[in-house]
Structure formats: structure tokens, C-alpha cells
Amino acid sequence: MQQYLTEEQKYVREFIPFVDFLADILGPNSEVVLNDLTDLNHSVVAIRNAHISHRQVGDPATDLALRTMKAGKDEKRDYLANYKGVSHGDYPLRSSTYFLRQNGEIVGMICINTDDSDLDTLQEQVIKVLTNYKHLNSPTIYQTKGAPKAPKATEEVEPEHLTTSINDLAKEVTQSTCARHGVSVDYLKREDKLEIVRSLYHQGYFLLKDAVSELAKVLHVSDPSVYRYLQVVKDEELKSKE
């Protein structure tokens, strides 16, 4: 049975050939991903060089995509370039995202995540070799005038976590909170759990289907408990706008 696609979903999928185009140009060290933001739980509709993040078609949206959807029309930028991406194991990447709009609404994203580790290693080795040449009096010989510099981000962007499942983001925020307080999940206080829910809410995590149930599993609490924390956060937001 053929899957029914909305006009927005058809529009996003028109860019699938562009994913192949970019991947063939950029090479195997750059992952290229097409995200459909009308289905956040199964956002990835095309991906090349998936060994970079180990994601696959059908995986959920990243925290950047969730923040973008939560911002709605307040997101005025056309693209984000050269910001920090984070893959599994906190592996750093250089990421860029182009927003796809239809009728003024962001409906998709084309994302490029580049692994610069080979280049970084080569640069370190070149610098090491040059500085070890004792007969060269200039210790800054490798700082050649006009030498290319690392690409700069267009502006300050919060790191994007390239998650492969719904609860990956919940786990990351929870583990960070546990590490900060030096306790396990079972020993987190109410204020700590509220802090986790607050952080995830502002990142758009609860736009995902089954987000409450997944977070409840991570926090070892019931679904109603998460809903109560979530209501507190929403009340805080309403109060701040008064």
C-alpha cells in the first residue's frame, strides 16, 4: 500500500537528488541528511555517508530541528553554517544546516556534518615536523601569511546532537544532570528532575510523539509525574510572558 504524502512532504522529498549531489561533491567525510520536519519522530528521509553519525532513514529529528520547530516563524535565518555538531560518544563534527520553507513555514532541513579529524591530525603532524627542524630559526614558520583558517560559524549556535532514537536526548540531559550532582538517576531530587524537564521543554523535546513516556523511563518515574513537571514548566513560561 502506497504511503500518502502531504504537499509539504512531497516538497521536501524533491530534494533527495540534491542530497546525492552534495555527498558526491563533498566526499565520504561529510554526511548529508534531508530532514522532514512534518514528521519529527521519523524525520530523516534521506542520508548519505551515514557512518558519520550512524543514523538511518526513519530516525527522529535532532535537538536543533526540535528547537527550530518550537521557534516557529520566529526563526528568520535561511541557514546556519559551521557550528558544532556532536555525534555518539561526544564525537565533534562541523555542521551546517539549510532550512527548506514552503509558504513561509520551515518544513525541512538539509544538513551537512563533516568529520575534520583527519585534517586536524594532519595539521598537528605538519606543525610538529616543522617545529622540530632546529635549523629553522622561526618557530612560527607554519603560520604562513595568507594560510587558510578554519571556517567560522555564521553566528553562535547551540551544539546539535545527532541522536538515533527518541530518548537519546533525554538520556544526555539526564546524564549531564546526574554527573553535575554526582548522583544516579534514582537519587535525583524533585528540583533536579524539574530542571531536566525544563531543559528538554525549551529544546522542543516534547514535540516528539511518546516523549513523556520515554522520559519517564529514563527518570524512573511514572508518566503522570512527568506531566506534572511539564505543567510546572508551562506555567513558568506563561508567567514570564505576563
pLDDT tens digits for 104-152?
Answer: 999 999 999 999 877 767 777 777 766 766 555 554 544 444 445 556 6
With 0.85 as the threshold, say if the pTM is over it: no
> How many angstroms separate the CA atoms of 123 and 118, rounded?
9
Is pLDDT of 100 > 90? yes
How many whole angstroms separate alpha carbon 95 and alpha carbon 234? Answer: 31
- What pLDDT, on a 0 to 100 scale, did the predictor assign at position 170? 84
Nearest-5° Cα angle at 60, 158 to 222: 90
Q: So what's the pLDDT on residue 201? A: 92
Q: Is residue 131 part of a domain?
A: no
Question: Worst-scoring range by mean pLDDT, 54-63, 168-177, 194-203?
Answer: 168-177
Q: In this structure, are 97 and 190 located in the same domain?
A: no
Of the three residues 116, 138, 153, the one that is the final residue of a domain is 116
The answer as to whether 132 is a domain residue is: no
Dihedral Cα 220, 221, 222, 225, nearest 10 deg: -150
Same domain for 14 and 101: yes
Mean pLDDT to the nearest integer, 37-63: 94
Residues 168-192 have pLDDT tens digits of 888 888 888 888 888 899 999 999 9
Domain count, the chain: 2
CATH number, residue 17 = 3.30.450.20
- In whole angstroms, what is the distance from residue 113 CA to residue 174 CA? 25
Q: Percent of the chain scored above 90 by pLDDT? A: 56
Coil, helix or strand at residue 45: strand
Mean pLDDT to the nearest integer, 11-36: 96
Q: Would the pLDDT of 231 be above 60? A: yes
Tell me which DSSP letter residue 61 carries. Answer: P
Mean pLDDT of 59-75: 89
Mean pLDDT, the chain, whole residue set: 85
Same domain, 14 and 108: yes
Domain boundary among 116, 142, 177: 116
Within this chain, do residues 111 and 176 fall inside the same structural domain, yes or no?
Answer: no
Domain that holds residue 230: 168-237
